[in-house]
Amino acid sequence: MSPKRSDIRPLLPIICGPTAVGKTALAIDLAESFNGEIVSADSRQVYRQMDIGTAKPTAVEQERARHHLIDVVWPNEEFNAADFSSRAAVAIKDIIGRNKMPLLVGGTGLYIKALTEGLLQTPGSDPEVRKHLTDRAEQVGSAVLHQELAVIDSVTAEKLHPNDLLRIVRALEVYEQTGRPLSFFQQEHGFKDTPYRTLKIGLNMDRADLYARINQRAEAMFESGLLAEAEALLVAGYDPELKSLKTIGYRQAFALLRNKLSRAEAVEDLKRSTRRYAKQQLTWFRADKSIIWVDSSVDFVTIRKLIYKFHDI
């Protein structure tokens, strides 16, 4: 594909949206239509031996379209947005170099943002400062810390709920380390060039339909062997307290194995946690005004036309 344009940055169509909305199936159809390959932007599908609980594309689906950034690290290995960004950039360059279309697909908004916009150049976490702030929050409450943040960084404070302790602490931590508000770094970051020319397509559907799909998937996970997968991870020596395993699906499976939840309770907790996660994903993506939202259940033709136009085909 050789679009006629003055902007020489690589073209990168992006398919994003909440869990269970149908991103995988749609992306495979698109990859087949455009001689493309999929770069997965999913923070859990990077882990090997975690298939059912992450709703990883099946072997058959991966045969239909080549996927990148799936099964690249072990559950006890660290993997973050910076790791994703560097690896995804290599994969995209390779795909384009073979005259194929890269298609970034996933629901981890931070990964997508890290790749397409870069990461903020702020200092790393300071354990002492963070502990001090967290201890204070336990004593006086997160709302008090939020008020203190409003004094030094009103821009960031306005974006955060008083109960969003994690982000409040991070903003205060950055200020204590640098003497500058987090919003200053975000503003500086906004002037940087972005490495790709992107077309962001967000998939959504009627909330009741989405929740029904989430509930159905939760039941299917247990029926198709989620518990056995969790047991295999234990046998392999992985600690359930690992960051990768303290996530939706595995958390419920381990609770069931420890007899802390019944099977019915584990399934219901998985449904509830996944619905909550989908809502969080939508909140994240809704903040990006460049995303074009479409109904995932009916708009394949519309999406294909958008990509055709994007590539000037």
My answer on whether 202 and 84 are in the same domain is yes
Contact call for residues 22 and 209 (beta carbons, < 8 A)? no
Q: What is the pLDDT of residues 207-251, one digit of tens each?
A: 999 999 999 999 999 999 999 999 999 999 999 999 999 999 999
Q: Examine the pLDDT at 273 and tell me if it is beyond 90.
A: yes
Q: What is the pLDDT of residues 45-77, one digit of tens each?
A: 999 999 999 999 999 999 999 999 999 999 999
My answer on whether 207 and 273 are in the same domain is yes
- Owning domain of residue 25: 11-118+192-310
What is the token pair recorded at 313? Answer: 């085909």
My answer on whether 180 and 242 are in the same domain is no
My answer on whether 290 and 205 are in the same domain is yes
My answer on whether 158 and 304 are in the same domain is no
My answer on whether 196 and 270 are in the same domain is yes
Q: Examine the pLDDT at 298 and tell me if it is beyond 80.
A: no
Q: What is the pLDDT of residues 105-121, one digit of tens each?
A: 999 999 999 999 987 77
My answer on whether 106 and 183 are in the same domain is no
Domain-located, residue 1: no
Average pLDDT over residues 260-276: 97
My answer on whether 232 and 107 are in the same domain is yes
Which of 43-52, 275-284, 292-301 is the least confident region? Answer: 292-301
Q: Are strands 67-68 and 36-40 parallel, antiparallel or unpaired?
A: parallel
What is the token pair recorded at 124? Answer: 């790393």
Give Cβ neighbours of residue 270 (< 8 Å, ≥ 6 apart). 218, 221, 222, 248, 249, 252
pLDDT at res. 296: 79
Domain-located, residue 2: no
Total domains, the chain: 2
Average pLDDT over residues 170-190: 84
Contact call for residues 297 and 205 (beta carbons, < 8 A)? yes
Model confidence pTM above 0.85: no
